[in-house]
Amino acid sequence: MKLNAIIINTFRESVRDKVFIAIIIFSIITMLGARVIKPLTLGEEAKVIKDIGLNSITFFSVLIAILVGGRLVYKEIEKRTIYLILSRPVSKTTFIIGKYLGLLLVLFDSILIMTGVFYLFLLFLRIPANYFLVWAIIMTFFELAIITAIAIFFSTFTTPITSAIFTFAIYFIGHLTPDLKNLARIAKSPVITFMSDVLYYLLPNLANFNVKAQVVHNLVIDYRVTILTILYGIVYSAFIMFLSCLIFRNKDF
Amino acid sequence: MPKAIYTENLTKVYRSGFRLQKVKAVENLNLEVEAQEIYGFLGPNGAGKTTTIKILVGLAQPTSGKAVVLGRPAGDLGTKKLIGFLPESPYFYEYLNAVEYLTFCAQLSGIEQNRIKKQVEKMLALVRLDKFAHMPIRGYSRGMLQRLGIAQALIGDPELVILDEPMGGLDPIGRREFRDIILALKAQGKTVFFSTHILADVELICSRVGIILNGRLINSGRLDEILLSEIEGFELIVKGLDRKMVKVIERFASKVISSAENETYLEVTDEAGVERVLAIVREVGGKLISLQPKKKTLEDHFIDQIAKERLKAI
Ligand SMILES: Nc1ncnc2c1ncn2[C@@H]1O[C@H](COP(=O)(O)OP(=O)(O)OP(=O)(O)O)[C@@H](O)[C@H]1O
Ligand SMILES: [Mg+2]
């Protein structure tokens, strides 16, 4: 009930925020814009449009997660609206989890809208669309769960800009984790091996969440790996949220 | 009945600035607020009022010492359920309207779903915001925000209401309405604890006050006691004295306020002085028009105390 109230309020906050609406509109424009480059697609139009569609859904939802997520908690502290939540019988954990789930709800809905537009667009262009594409989007959602958790984690102790930069860096490196593993294997220096190993296990392994290429090229998806990846996403997010709660619990306002 | 608020050696040290210097925002504060009283918490800017209040409502942890609210540890969820709180210059979600905001507050306070709508309407009527109930808070004036703040503090019928500078931003009519609300709360058996620098508000409604300066409680008690304990002298108006006699009694006066048309208005510091002046007046057939103890106003008291503390500090 209290958790619900915070989730819904966070949802309202984002939906009534102009930045959020602008991002959604941009994503739709980008998807539709894929049509313009038709002459460059060399007969691979369907694949290119699917590719651009999926990537813009990912890109813009990651943007929402990082930008909105990094401001979410900070803003409540900065504007002191948090006083009127935490002076009520609401624990700091409920607050933070509510904020997190609220943003996930926002992301879920934005992905739903963007995916809807995407499918309509494919329908309009008479490009056959299978449910495969949805798998890629579902995976993106669980990746977003991790990114949002990280953005909120940073926003419990830094400014939105710092949080955004750090989260973006982690997002970026997180997609390179297979390379880190390789680096650890081939590096001559034990220090580098150690460092890349530490990074490999510490940073989220986001590369696994990206099945867009497989999906677009109608390659087989290994569902076992997919399910494991989703589970990994849930566990990793939960762990980060746990850390955020620990930090937040000892905070004075 | 347990005390509404009880603190023992409550201390809060902040570390701030580049070199993490210690700032003692509250130092060994011992507060006792009885149930069902209206308690004024007075102090100048930076005295530590807000810090104390934050500890009482669970927004900050004390560095040391103890804070008990309604017989329970301050900051516990069970304790917070019984408290209404208004922070200083409160800020609300601008994208909501008053109904949405108060509903949100009611949900967080754990009010049963089926009572929420009624509670919200009642609060809006109480602070006269019903006409603006559906206007986004973004468009509210300073005074309207303060009213909304009072409404959210009182929602759910809290046992103890803690208000940090509740009169800030209110016009004279708003202040008066606020005083009426506070007095109504007292009549319902609630406890009200509020901080302010505005002394007139305290003089009118508080049963007891505490004065805080530099994080320490420098005085507390019933308002009339604090003021009575410091009779500064007496003011006399006497009549029917000739110029020579006026000169004589003026020697006993600490100050001659006016002396005209054989009526003399003077101040005498102690009772012995008063006795002498009266004796002389009686002897020469003069008349005593008025004799009044001169009390300090709270304002004077306040300034004196602060001056004393500052002197000590030097
Ligand atoms: N978060 C903080 N970090 C560092 N110092 C702080 C913090 N909060 C308060 N202080 C310091 O503690 C002291 C008391 O501040 P507090 O806000 O409690 O005063 P106040 O009595 O409420 O003043 P005012 O009437 O201006 O609201 C001040 O010196 C202030 O600078
Ligand atoms: Mg203050």
B211 alpha carbon – ligand 2 mean position (Å): 14
Using 50, 70 and 90 to split pLDDT, how confident is the model at B255? confident
In short, whether B36's Cβ falls inside 6 Å of ligand 1 is: no
Domain assignment present for B312: no
Q: Give residue A94's pLDDT.
A: 96
Mean pLDDT, rounded, for B202-206? 84
Same domain, B279 and B162: no
Q: Which residues of A touch B152 (CB under 8 A)?
A: 84
Using 50, 70 and 90 to split pLDDT, how confident is the model at B229? low
Asked whether residue A245 carries a pLDDT value surpassing 80, the answer given is yes
Quick one: closest CA in B to A80, which residue? B91
Same domain, B62 and B142: yes
Q: Which residues contact A177 (CB under 8 A, 6 or more apart)?
A: A199, A200, A203, A204, A205, A206, A207
Mean pLDDT, rounded, for B259-285? 83
Q: Is B105 within 8 Å of chain A by CB? A: yes
Complex prediction ipTM: 0.87
Q: Give residue B236's pLDDT.
A: 86
Across the interface, whether the CB atoms of A89 and B80 are under 8 A apart is answered yes
Tell me which residue has its CA closest to atom 2 in ligand 1. B14
Same domain, B247 and B274: yes
Q: Is A217 within 8 Å of chain B by CB? A: no
Tell me which residue has its CA closest to atom 30 in ligand 1. B46
Q: Which residues of B touch A10 (CB under 8 A)?
A: none
Domain assignment present for B73: yes
Please state the atom number of ligand 1 nearest to the C-alpha of residue B43.
21
Asked whether residue B214 carries a pLDDT value surpassing 90, the answer given is no
Per-residue pLDDT tens over the stretch A12-56 = 998 888 888 888 888 888 888 877 776 666 667 788 888 888 899
Q: Is A18 within 8 Å of chain B by CB? A: no
Asked whether residue B262 carries a pLDDT value surpassing 80, the answer given is no
In short, whether B14's Cβ falls inside 6 Å of ligand 1 is: yes
Q: Give residue B296's pLDDT.
A: 67
B23 alpha carbon – ligand 1 mean position (Å): 9
Across the interface, whether the CB atoms of B54 and A90 are under 8 A apart is answered no
Same domain, B106 and B24: yes
Tell me which residue has its CA closest to atom 14 in ligand 1. B48
A28 alpha carbon – ligand 1 mean position (Å): 48
Per-residue pLDDT tens over the stretch B61-103 = 999 999 999 999 999 999 999 999 999 989 999 999 999 999 9
For residues A107 and A61, the answer to whether their CB atoms sit within 8 Å is yes
Domain assignment present for B309: no
Q: Which residues of B touch A80 (CB under 8 A)?
A: 87, 90-91
Where residue B247 sits, what CATH number does that domain have? 3.30.70.1150
Same domain, B272 and B165: no
In short, whether B48's Cβ falls inside 6 Å of ligand 1 is: yes
Of all ligands present, the nearest one to the C-alpha of B212 is 1
Q: Give residue A41's pLDDT.
A: 61
Q: Give residue A12's pLDDT.
A: 92
Domain assignment present for B305: no
Q: Which residues of B touch A2 (CB under 8 A)?
A: 107-108, 110
For residues B138 and B159, the answer to whether their CB atoms sit within 8 Å is no
Asked whether residue B32 carries a pLDDT value surpassing 90, the answer given is yes
Asked whether residue B306 carries a pLDDT value surpassing 80, the answer given is no
Domain assignment present for B301: no
Question: Containing domain of residue B12, as a range?
Answer: 5-227
B26 alpha carbon – ligand 1 mean position (Å): 9
Q: Which of A88, A106, A248 has the most B C-beta neighbours within 10 Å, making it the best mutation to test the interface with B?
A: A88
Domain assignment present for B188: yes
Nearest to B96 among A6, A12, A91 (CB): A12
Domain assignment present for B193: yes
Of B227, B258, B280, the position where a domain reaches its end is B227
B149 alpha carbon – ligand 1 mean position (Å): 21
Across the interface, whether the CB atoms of B77 and A89 are under 8 A apart is answered yes
Across the interface, whether the CB atoms of B80 and A87 are under 8 A apart is answered yes
Chain B closest-CA separation from residue A152 CA (Å): 19
Number of domains in chain B: 2
Same domain, B57 and B134: yes
Of all ligands present, the nearest one to the C-alpha of B20 is 1
Q: What percent of chain B has pLDDT over 90?
A: 50
Across the interface, whether the CB atoms of A9 and B92 are under 8 A apart is answered no
Where residue B13 sits, what CATH number does that domain have? 3.40.50.300
Domain assignment present for B196: yes
Chain B closest-CA separation from residue A83 CA (Å): 7
Tell me which residue has its CA closest to atom 6 in ligand 1. B14
Same domain, B213 and B111: yes
